[in-house]
Amino acid sequence: MNNFYSQEKVFFQKAKKNIEKYTNIVILGHINPDGDCIGSQTALYYAIKAKYPNKKIYFPFAETEYSKFLLPQNYQNEINPTIFKNSLVIVVDFHEKKRLNNLKIPKDNFVIVIDHHPEISRDLGDLVWIDKSSMACCEMIYFFLKALQFPINSDVATALMLGIITDSGNFTHTNTKTTTFIAAAELMQTGVNLQTIHKNLNSQPLINLKLHSYYLQNFVKKENLIYFTFCPNDIKKIPLITTIKEPFSSTKNIPKNLKNINVWANFIQINKQEAIKCSLRSIEEIDVSVIARKYGGGGHKNAAGITLKNWKTIDKVIKDLKFISKII
């Protein structure tokens, strides 16, 4: 892609200057990181490290079951606040403080933002590139690295491809564009480990069969809406559920191709100390991100999320979802 607007070219050059200037760099993703967020953090780490081996680069909270294979051997999945001292901070796949992973970025740090979420109440970033037309943050980072001639080795390419595959739903979501395929094709040429990505993304513990079965017996259908709830009192029905991370995440897309279902959602709380995790999904022009933002969450038009403490609020969310599910 050589047809970037001059605005983007200015961002690229300024970002490069800052990356060169700082010895320490902290790359942060959002709370409950997804494949695009982790892929963006990891790819930037490998690309900057390949070009400037002496820089110290931290990218905490990028470890999940399906992306462990991407991480360098000495990876530390934690953060010591002292690492912010004299560091450049790069924020990927989000641009609001409330989506920081229980962290505070000190006021005097210079912060670069690269994101593709709609800019509504941005409160982060001294140097900002937000492109809501972009399918994935990983897609943006690919063109960024390419424009600046950073090395794109197989580690960088595999990390970026993880984000492109997950945020596009295997190239099926409506935001999948020509540039998505251009990025994916060029990444394949540089040595993406595609089979390893799919193996890690799709391998599931056996208990997931039980969760699917439980989901199928307990989801609720209200006209054009399907929703599913699981609260701490339900644990006795599937005691083994406490042994797995992100239970029911593999059920998020089950209603996707059902006729006349326009909106679907999961509300999951495993123990009382944790928040209720809500994932909202919709088809075509129905915008679930509006509902997510109303309750302090965020995301995209067809895939958004909220974390809430109170089941009474969930009743309100469900009411709102039922309302918008009738729009088409």
Which residues are at the interface with Mn ion (CB under 5 A)?
Answer: 36, 93, 137, 167
Give the nearer residue to Mn ion in terms of CB position, either 37 or 276. 37
Q: What are the tokens at 296?
A: 């302090």
State in angstroms the smallest separation of the CB of 160 from Mn ion: 12
Of the candidates 238, 201, 199, 204, the one whose C-alpha atom is nearest the C-alpha of residue 218 is 238
Give the nearer residue to Mn ion in terms of CB position, either 229 or 300. 300
State in angstroms the smallest separation of the CB of 288 from Mn ion: 15
Give the nearer residue to Mn ion in terms of CB position, either 170 or 213. 170
State in angstroms the smallest separation of the CB of 168 from Mn ion: 10
Give the nearer residue to Mn ion in terms of CB position, either 96 or 167. 167
Q: What are the tokens at 109?
A: 């740090």
Q: What are the tokens at 173?
A: 């979501």
State in angstroms the smallest separation of the CB of 93 from Mn ion: 5
Among the residues of the chain, which ranges form H helices? Answer: 6-21, 35-51, 137-147, 154-167, 178-189, 194-202, 207-218, 288-294, 311-324
- By beta-carbon distance, which residue lies closest to Mn ion? 36
Contact 313, 188 (CB under 8 A): no
Q: Long-range contacts for 194-198 (Cβ within 8 Å, ≥24 apart)?
A: 194/161, 196/69, 196/158, 197/158, 197/161, 197/162, 197/165, 198/165
State in angstroms the smallest separation of the CB of 135 from Mn ion: 8
8-state DSSP, 97 = G
Please count the other Cβ atoms lying within 10 Å of the Cβ belonging to residue 323.
12
State in angstroms the smallest separation of the CB of 326 from Mn ion: 28
φ/ψ region of 313 (left if φ > 0, alpha if ψ in -120 to 50, else beta) reads alpha
Give the nearer residue to Mn ion in terms of CB position, either 247 or 298. 298
Give the nearer residue to Mn ion in terms of CB position, either 278 or 318. 278
